[in-house]
């Protein structure tokens, strides 16, 4: 695979990115300064989710920046990642590093100046240490002209300019909803196999059109939805879908290799798996910034970029979701993290930042009326995932849900079909990248039976 270079490490010159005005600058290992939109530069989008990475690459292309979405993770790529790790790292960083190295070894011509896109944030190991780990990896392997491009969590991921921010937001929101539509087709299409064929063809068309005709994006997604509606009839309406919510660690819950296509598994059982949105995390970050729980860059430029993105995000969310609701597989719903957080903050204070508050809040706010059960998904040994499980499991009874509801609405009337001691189906799954064990498979079967009973009571 790759051989580490141990000599003269201190003399190795990194390629790096500077966020200059009006466009970011790539500084090569030979200290050449190149605009990031130069044809010699290629931005690599990690494969956290196949739909998201493809549309995110299209967002870069729409701004004149060469970009490619890395392939979905494989066992081979995971081997590359484990080859540069010490065994203590969690699955996401192993997959991200492995996929980057796999591309460099098998697809890179050595001529393009590579940029590996990622985000960083303080606190949890995931966002805090990814860029550090990858930079050290590039240094050990002495990989020239491979740069990390890091956007900061605390800045609302500002740094590449207003135009890119707008297109990135569009790509994220579209991909989140398309994930819902894909899961809906798997579970509820009259002919799901044909439905997936149509979906994949239309996704490829949308991906290309978004890169070349970004100003027409609202018409493009509406046409996508109409095509799905006409060609892929559903057994029922989205209001009657049996839904399971999958929340938890943001990388693994979206990565099809990590969760082993759980959306297909649940579809075979008649359930639509609704995976928590990536754009939900951006909304969460913006909310924390708004209540001064995150210290963002105070520069006027980045503050203005965040404000513009927030305004545009709300506007584009409405337009895109309204358009895609015409598909017959998605019900329009605005994104709002405050209700979930308000139902969990009596247990997980807002000052404790991360997924646990959202995980518990969604369970107490939306289950079982909206979701028949909750999957808390994360990498093996992940502290936030286990923390979320520790604070959530004791609360997974209807009586604790009612307590949380009445804290927010004293006039709340409990559902008549649910008694106080009834359990809310909740299952934590930790992934190490390997096929699920027999124990996890058995727990999934039990979870399905519980979720079916809940659905019958709600119905």
Per-residue pLDDT tens digits for 327-358: 999 999 998 899 999 999 999 999 888 889 99
Q: Are residues 292 and 380 in the same domain?
A: no
Q: Are residues 64 and 211 in the same domain?
A: no
Mean pLDDT of the region 19-25: 82
| pLDDT band, residue 154 (cuts 50/70/90) | very low
Of the residues 105, 121, 155, the one at which a domain ends? 155
DSSP 64: T
Q: Are residues 215 and 322 in the same domain?
A: yes
Let me know if residue 179 belongs to a domain.
yes
Give CA–CA dist 451/98, Å, rounded.
Answer: 36
Q: Are residues 386 and 404 in the same domain?
A: yes
pLDDT digit string, tens, across residues 272-282: 999 999 888 87
Q: Are residues 322 and 175 in the same domain?
A: yes
Query: How confident is the model at residue 152, as a pLDDT?
Result: 59
Q: Are residues 43 and 131 in the same domain?
A: yes
Give CA–CA dist 447/389, Å, rounded.
Answer: 15
Let me know if residue 148 belongs to a domain.
yes
Query: How confident is the model at residue 328, as a pLDDT?
Result: 96
Give CA–CA dist 51/390, Å, rounded.
Answer: 32
Give phi and psi for 25, each to the nearest 5.
Answer: -115, 135
Mean pLDDT of the region 407-431: 92
Q: Are residues 303 and 402 in the same domain?
A: no
Mean pLDDT of the region 440-447: 97
Radius of gyration of the chain, Cα coordinates, nearest whole angstrom: 22
Using a 10 angstrom Cβ sphere, with 0-12 exposed, 13-18 middle and 19 or more buried, the burial of residue 340 is buried
Let me know if residue 342 belongs to a domain.
yes
**Nearest by Cα to 53 from 74, 34, 69, 65:** 69
Let me know if residue 259 belongs to a domain.
no
Integer angstrom CA distances of residue 334 from 284, 316, 452: 14, 11, 27
Let me know if residue 242 belongs to a domain.
no
Give phi and psi for 374, each to the nearest 5.
Answer: -125, 130
Query: How confident is the model at residue 18, as a pLDDT?
Result: 84
Let me know if residue 299 belongs to a domain.
yes
Q: Are residues 111 and 226 in the same domain?
A: no
Q: What's 96's domain CATH number?
A: 3.40.50
Q: How far is CA 112 from the centre of its chain?
A: 28
Query: How confident is the model at residue 153, as a pLDDT?
Result: 47
Q: Are residues 149 and 207 in the same domain?
A: no
Integer angstrom CA distances of residue 336 from 122, 277, 287, 318, 361: 23, 11, 9, 12, 12
pLDDT above 70 (res 4):
no
Record the tokens describing residue 380, joined without a space.
């093996």
Query: How confident is the model at residue 120, as a pLDDT?
Result: 63
- Averaged pLDDT score across all residues of the chain: 89
Q: Are residues 135 and 15 in the same domain?
A: yes
pLDDT above 60 (res 124):
no
Of the residues 130, 155, 180, the one at which a domain ends? 155
List b or e across 349-383, with b for residues whose CB sees 16 or more CB atoms inside 10 angstroms.
Answer: eeebbbbbbbbbbbbbbbbbeebbbbbbbbbeebe
pLDDT digit string, tens, across residues 238-277: 999 999 999 998 889 999 999 999 999 999 999 999 999 9
- Residue numbers of the domain that contains 432: 337-459
Q: Indicate the number of domains in the chain.
A: 3
Least confident of 164-178, 280-294, 350-364: 280-294
Sheet with 113-120: list strands edge to edge: 67-69, 41-45, 113-120, 146-152
Q: Are residues 331 and 344 in the same domain?
A: no
Let me know if residue 3 belongs to a domain.
no
Of the residues 155, 180, 213, the one at which a domain ends? 155
Mean pLDDT of the region 159-178: 85
Give CA–CA dist 13/27, Å, rounded.
Answer: 10
Query: How confident is the model at residue 157, as a pLDDT?
Result: 46
Mean pLDDT of the region 107-121: 85
Mean pLDDT of the region 190-212: 97
Contact 182, 201 (CB under 8 A): no
Q: Are residues 341 and 433 in the same domain?
A: yes
Q: How far is CA 101 from the centre of its chain?
A: 22
pLDDT above 70 (res 121):
no
Let me know if residue 28 belongs to a domain.
yes
pLDDT digit string, tens, across residues 69-84: 999 999 999 999 999 9
Query: How confident is the model at residue 323, as a pLDDT?
Result: 97
The residues near 411 (Cβ < 8 Å, ≥ 6 apart) are none
| pLDDT band, residue 3 (cuts 50/70/90) | low
């Amino acid at each position: 695979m790759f051989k580490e270079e141990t000599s003269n490490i201190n003399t190795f010159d990194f390629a790096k990115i500077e966020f200059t005005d009006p466009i970011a600058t790539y500084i090569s290992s030979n200290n050449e300064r190149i605009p990031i939109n130069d044809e010699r530069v290629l931005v690599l989008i990690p494969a956290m989710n196949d739909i998201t990475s493809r549309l995110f690459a299209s967002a870069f292309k729409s701004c004149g920046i060469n970009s490619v979405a890395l392939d979905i993770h494989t066992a081979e790529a995971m081997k590359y990642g484990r080859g540069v790790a010490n065994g203590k790292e969690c699955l996401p960083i192993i997959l991200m590093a492995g996929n980057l190295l796999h591309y460099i070894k098998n697809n890179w011509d050595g001529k393009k100046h590579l940029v590996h896109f990622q985000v960083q944030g303080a606190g949890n190991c995931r966002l805090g240490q990814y860029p550090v780990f990858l930079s050290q990896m590039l240094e050990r392997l002495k990989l020239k002209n491979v740069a990390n491009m890091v956007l900061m969590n605390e800045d609302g991921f500002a740094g590449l300019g207003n135009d890119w921010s707008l297109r990135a937001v569009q790509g994220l929101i579209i991909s989140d909803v398309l994930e819902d539509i894909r899961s809906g087709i798997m579970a509820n299409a009259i002919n799901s196999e044909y439905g997936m064929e149509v979906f994949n063809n239309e996704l490829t068309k949308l991906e290309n059109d978004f890169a070349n005709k970004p100003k027409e994006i609202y018409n493009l997604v509406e046409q996508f939805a109409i095509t799905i509606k006409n060609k892929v009839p559903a057994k029922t309406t989205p209001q009657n879908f049996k839904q399971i919510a999958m929340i938890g660690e943001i990388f693994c819950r979206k990565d099809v290799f990590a969760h082993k296509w759980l959306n297909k598994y649940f579809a075979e059982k008649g359930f639509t798996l609704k995976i928590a949105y990536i754009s939900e995390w951006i909304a969460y970050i913006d909310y924390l910034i708004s209540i001064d729980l995150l210290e963002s860059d105070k520069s006027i430029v980045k503050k203005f970029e965040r404000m513009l993105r927030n305004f545009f995000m709300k506007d584009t969310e409405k337009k895109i979701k309204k358009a895609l609701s015409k598909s017959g597989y998605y019900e329009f719903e605005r994104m709002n993290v405050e209700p979930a957080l308000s139902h969990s903050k009596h247990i997980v204070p807002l000052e404790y930042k991360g997924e646990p508050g959202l995980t518990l809040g969604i369970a107490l706010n939306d289950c079982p009326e909206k979701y028949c059960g909750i999957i808390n998904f994360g990498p093996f040994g992940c502290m936030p995932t286990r923390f979320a499980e520790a604070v959530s499991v004791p609360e997974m009874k209807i009586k604790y849900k009612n307590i949380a509801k009445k804290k927010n609405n004293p006039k709340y009337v409990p559902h008549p079909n649910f008694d106080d001691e009834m359990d809310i189906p909740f299952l934590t799954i930790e992934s190490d990248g390997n096929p699920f064990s027999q124990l996890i498979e058995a727990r999934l079967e039990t979870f399905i039976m519980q979720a079916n009973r809940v659905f019958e009571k709600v119905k």
